Amino acid sequence: MSKAIHTQKITFTNSQTWEEKKKILVILAHPDDPEFFCGATLTKWVEEGHEIQYCLLTHGEKGTNEDFFDVEHIMEIREREQKEAASIIGVKNILFLDHPDGFLEVDLDLRKELVKTMRTIQPDIVVSCDPSNYFIKGASINHPDHRAAGLAVLEAIFPAVQNHDFFPEFVQEGLSPHHIQELWLSLPKDANVVLDVTAYWDKKITALLKHHSQVGNPEEFQDRMKARGRMVFGKKKYFEEFHRLIIRK
């Protein structure tokens, strides 16, 4: 069983990833996580003709800050903002699982819920977050919900999603085992894929600006996002990193 997943070394590429169109499911903890972690890559994939859906484990109701205190309506606001941001990228469907923000627990109930979700949607590719990354770029602490989401996804995908001996009641409901081809972990501790997403960076920023409650001053936020580029042969380039795993049957 330990041989079911292997990694593929790819560095600094903007080439077509797959020959066939893929169904992609992004499973992350909070509204705005997809856009912050990999919004330019998701935009790239949509423009290449792939289908993307989101599954967010919480509504991000703890996402208040010094500029935003509307606690009473925060869940509705963040859901609306997420739908607006996703529409910029081209995502057609968002599923919220309504777990408590800040207290996401990796347990059997969550694993079962994710197995059912993945067997229902039947994605080819799943995108989540690297559960082993405690420190983002060695400079800040990664949110425990981010890591919990990634670990829950890992434990659900293998071996349960593709094995009929796990949760046989789902088979009786018509949800057959399903093989997920690849898992892409954003915010990776050790990246093995670095995508040049320069052509899609502005659209990522546009989508993120829909998260009004989270980004603060729009002009200052855009300046911070544009400062993330790297100079490559005299040109500013933007990249998104992943740890990509190919999942064998």
Average pLDDT taken over every residue of the chain? 91
Report if residue 6 sits inside a domain: no
Report if residue 4 sits inside a domain: no
pLDDT tens profile 211-222: 999 998 999 999
CA–centroid distance for 71 within its chain: 25
Cα dihedral value 56, 59, 61, 66, nearest 10: 70
Question: Are the CB atoms for 125 and 182 separated by under 8 Å?
Answer: yes
DSSP letter (8 states) at residue 68: B
pLDDT of residue 195: 97
- Here the CATH number for the domain that contains residue 191 is 3.40.50.10320
Mean pLDDT, range 16-45, rounded to an integer: 94
Binned at pLDDT 50, 70 and 90, residue 92 comes out as confident
Binned at pLDDT 50, 70 and 90, residue 67 comes out as low
Report if residue 77 sits inside a domain: yes
pTM score: 0.92
Domain hosting 21: range is: 12-247
Alpha-carbon span 58 to 104, nearest angstrom = 8
Report if residue 3 sits inside a domain: no
pLDDT of residue 7: 43
Alpha-carbon span 111 to 135, nearest angstrom = 25
What domain count does the chain have? Answer: 1
Q: Where are the alpha helices (DSSP H) in 163-200?
A: 168-172
Report if residue 169 sits inside a domain: yes
Report if residue 81 sits inside a domain: yes
For every residue of 130-144, DSSP letters joined together read -TT--EETTTEEPPH
Cα dihedral value 110, 115, 116, 118, nearest 10: 120
Binned at pLDDT 50, 70 and 90, residue 97 comes out as very high
Report if residue 1 sits inside a domain: no
Mean pLDDT, range 128-135, rounded to an integer: 97
Report if residue 2 sits inside a domain: no
